[in-house]
């Protein structure tokens, strides 16, 4: 066998091995980041989302708009008592490069199901970096849309 052929084969094998190692390392790092995001999201729900949704519920009740806070596993939701298809909810989205909190708004159209729109709570921010101000800014934008369309 020619030395140059053997050299090419060995170098190719070394390169493939490095790529496989890098891919395993990237997958491992992604799992760690996903686990950290899930823990941060649980803290976000407990410390920010649920308390502020309860405050929003009380404010809306004082204004004559009845909503109820639901806290299903891995989420938080503010639902209209008049129409269960009118709500705003929050969930952890792990589909992208980096996990983020997504807000979903659904508004019932004359009792015919909800028109759902979703968007990141604070684009570009990690879950751990979310603040009460980020959450409040989302609520202030979305709650009037829930109430105005009923």
Q: What is the pLDDT of residues 24-39, one digit of tens each?
A: 666 777 788 888 999 9
User: Which segments within 53-113 are labelled E, that is strand?
Assistant: 67-70, 76-80, 87-93, 100-108
Q: How confident is the model at residue 98 (pLDDT cuts 50, 70, 90)?
A: confident
Distance CA 68, CA 15 (A): 57
Mean pLDDT, range 144-150, rounded to an integer: 76
Distance CA 101, CA 93 (A): 6
Please state the pTM of the whole predicted model.
Answer: 0.77
Report the range of poorest mean pLDDT among 7-11, 13-17, 23-27, 114-118: 23-27
Distance CA 29, CA 147 (A): 43
């Amino acid at each position: 066998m020619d030395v140059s052929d053997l050299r090419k084969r060995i170098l190719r094998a070394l390169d493939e091995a490095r790529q496989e190692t890098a891919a395993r390392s990237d997958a491992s790092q992604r799992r760690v980041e996903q686990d950290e995001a899930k823990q941060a999201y649980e803290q976000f729900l407990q410390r920010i989302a649920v308390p502020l949704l309860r405050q929003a519920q009380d404010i809306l009740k004082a204004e004559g708009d009845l909503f109820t806070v639901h806290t299903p596993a891995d989420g938080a939701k503010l639902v209209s008592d008049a129409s269960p298809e009118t709500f705003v909810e929050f969930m952890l989205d792990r589909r992208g490069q980096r996990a983020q909190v997504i807000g979903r708004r659904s508004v019932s159209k004359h009792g015919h199901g909800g028109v759902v729109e979703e968007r990141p709570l604070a684009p570009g921010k990690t879950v751990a970096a979310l603040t009460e101000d980020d959450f409040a800014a989302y609520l202030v934008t979305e709650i009037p849309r829930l109430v105005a369309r009923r």
